[in-house]
Amino acid sequence: MQLEISADEAQVLDEVLEEALGDTREQIYKAEVAEYKALLKRREDAITRLIERLRARPTAS
């Protein structure tokens, strides 16, 4: 699946993902149940991969 987004949309998405990453890291820090912490760490990894892919995409001129 491919998703075409504009530069403005990419910027907004990057900001939203960065905020979600920060929130997820805070939840990981506060989590006490190992299973929940593992779930959050998988989410953190997925968000990080999305940010990396978004930033690696070529920009339209």
Alpha carbon distance 61, 54 (integer Å): 16
Would you call 47 exposed, middle or buried from its count of C-beta atoms within 10 A (0-12, 13-18, 19+)? buried
Spell out the residues 6+ positions from residue 7 whose beta carbon is closer than 8 angstroms to its own.
59, 60
Question: Residue 60: what pLDDT?
Answer: 56
DSSP letter (8 states) at residue 6: -
5-51 pLDDT, tens digit per residue, is 999 999 999 999 999 999 999 999 999 999 999 999 999 999 999 99
Please report, for residues 15, 30, 58, 60, 61, the alpha-carbon distance to residue 48 in angstroms, rounded to integers and kept in the order given.
12, 19, 18, 23, 26
